[in-house]
Amino acid sequence: MALSADRPVGGLLFDRDDTLVIDVPYNADPHRVVPVPGARRAVQAAREAGLPVGVVTNQSVIARGGATREQVDATNARVDELVGPFAVWCVCPHGPEDDCPCRKPRPGLVLQAAERLGVPASDLVVIGDIGADVGAALAAGAQAILVPTPRTRPEEVDAAQTVAATIEEAVALALQHVPAATP
């Protein structure tokens, strides 16, 4: 499965947990951040291709009272240090019951990142590990690549239009659709 051949890729957005870093549930401790294999190389390849990169992440640990925004920001800064740098970080601090427009699978985080990057949402690809990541991308008019983990539900894999085995494979798929630079 592949991305749409007639849509250029102008930027990449990544989910944080289980996409860029090994998921530690509700992690707000920078010392517990461990990149997934290949994450740094994948993000570097995107940057070297001239693509802006960002992160879109639900962090309901804030709404649940398990961490402060400052703790989550410190954890994100550690991800940025180990895997990035990323041009933008868009974080939803709400819980599922808050009915906010930014929590994935709603499009708010993707649209916010598109605006901050100066890239139309339709030119973005969101790389994530669950159906909510794919849903947010599609709701915003972006494309998506699912990189399943053992926690990804089979129906999410079946429903995804584009699936990659690793983050490096996902970025390589996206890079095939980056328009050639004009002199």
Coil/strand/helix, residue 26: coil
CB burial of residue 121 (10 Å; 0-12, 13-18, 19+): buried
DSSP 21: B
Q: 129 CB contacts (<8 Å, ≥6 apart)?
A: 15, 17, 18, 19, 146, 147, 148, 149, 151, 152
Clarify whether 15 is annotated catalytic: yes
Which of 15, 123, 129, 133 is flagged as catalytic? 15
Clarify whether 123 is annotated catalytic: no
Which positions are catalytic?
15, 17
